Amino acid sequence: MKIKKILNNSVVISLDEAEKEIIVMGKGIAYAKKVGDEITSEQITKKFILSPKNCPQRVLDLLSNITLDYVEIADNIIQYAKEKMTLDTQDSIYIALIDHIQASIERYKEGTFIRNKILWEIKNFYCEEFDIGLYGLKLINDRFNISMPEDEAGFIALHIASIRTNDNIQQTYKVTHFIQSITNIVKYYLNIEYDIESLNYRRFVTHLRYFSIRLFSQPENDHEPLENELLDIIKDKYHQPYMCCLKISKFIKDKYNCTLDDNEILYLIIHIAKIAEDNKKMNK
């Protein structure tokens, strides 16, 4: 494999077997080398396919100034995440995480660390991802001998969540705020406290996560119509959860211009009824 362009001592642009441009990283991979020189597979730590989609000029500028420490940390985080859950990773995800880690560390060292305003939500809505974020945070703190707080674990968790749902980080933020809004409506309408360790709470959050993904990607539902008799029975049996659902439905209509169908109302009623039942047991 020959060097086509040197970005820095540890990052070069080369050509793969199909003559496609790739970004190749490795410690000192370009040291004392020039364009046209060979590099061996033993020298390579990471490779990325070079394309206009995942490598605009801004990314090339980033990689030109990157140190291999950031690459190795991002790679370790994603490899650890793959051990814990099913992930379909793309090169752009690695680059986004490298970019985030570098920026966070630089801001922290300059004394301008950004607080994570939705840390509580991330901890409770993305439990597995947050555990991975804590793993990544320890790697960062140990490698750079710093003490970044849990806020950073939350940011890393959002990146992992975006990989898991095949969304960008902005969409993951949007989903998180949606879940936050709905859980708050339920909490304050029914005047309850959540048992965040309960199975029913976890199932409710999971349902909201996937519902929000459907909502943002396909606002119009395609469910089969529900038998009205079944919904009428559920509405009568769980009157308060049903009234809460009406409040949720209005919120979604006002904010997202989407009307909940009877299927979604039914699912929400059942989830909310189970949450309310858990709350009764907690207060006995």
| pLDDT reading at 218 higher than 60 | yes
pLDDT digit string, tens, across residues 241-260: 999 999 999 999 999 998 88
Residue 140 pLDDT grade (very low, low, confident, very high; cuts 50, 70, 90): very high
User: How confident is the model over 136-143, as a mean pLDDT?
Assistant: 97
The Cα 148–Cα 136 span in angstroms is: 11
- The values of phi and psi at residue 76, to 5°, are -60, -40
Q: What is the CA radius of gyration of the chain?
A: 24
Q: Of the given ranges (45-49, 146-150, 173-177), which has the lowest mean pLDDT?
A: 45-49
pTM of the model: 0.76
Longest dimension (CA), the chain: 78
Chain length of the chain: 284
Domain residue extents for the chain: 3-51, 68-166, 182-282
| pLDDT reading at 152 higher than 80 | yes
Residue 54 or 117, more confident: 117
Is residue 267 exposed (0-12), middle (13-18) or buried (19+ Cβ within 10 Å)?
Answer: middle
Strands 21-25 and 3-8, by their bridges, are unpaired
Q: Domain spanning 68-166: which CATH class is it, in words?
A: mainly alpha
| pLDDT reading at 172 higher than 80 | yes
| Fold agreement between 3-51 and 182-282 | no
Q: In the structure encoding, which two tokens stand for residue 252, read together?
A: 């979604």
The chain-wide mean pLDDT, for the chain, equals 85
Is residue 165 exposed (0-12), middle (13-18) or buried (19+ Cβ within 10 Å)?
Answer: middle
The Cα 120–Cα 226 span in angstroms is: 36
3-state DSSP call for residue 9? coil
One-letter amino acid identity for 104?
S
Q: In the structure encoding, which two tokens stand for residue 58, read together?
A: 């801004």
DSSP string covering 61-122: HHHHT--HHHHHHHHHHHHHHHHHS-----HHHHHHHHHHHHHHHHHHHTT-PPP-TTHHHH
pLDDT digit string, tens, across residues 77-108: 988 998 998 877 666 677 788 889 999 999 99
Beta bridge pairs of residue 23 = 13, 48
CATH among 3.40.50.300, 2.60.40.10, 2.60.40.1180, 2.30.24.10 for 3-51: 2.30.24.10
DSSP string covering 28-70: TTTTT--TT-B--GGG-SEEEE--TTT--HHHHHHHHT--HHH
Write down the number of H helices and E strands in the chain.
Answer: 11, 4
User: What pLDDT was estimated at residue 56?
Assistant: 55
CATH number for the region 182-282 comes to 1.10.1790.10
Let me know the angle formed at the C-alpha of 85 by 82 and 86, rounded to the nearest 5 degrees. Answer: 80
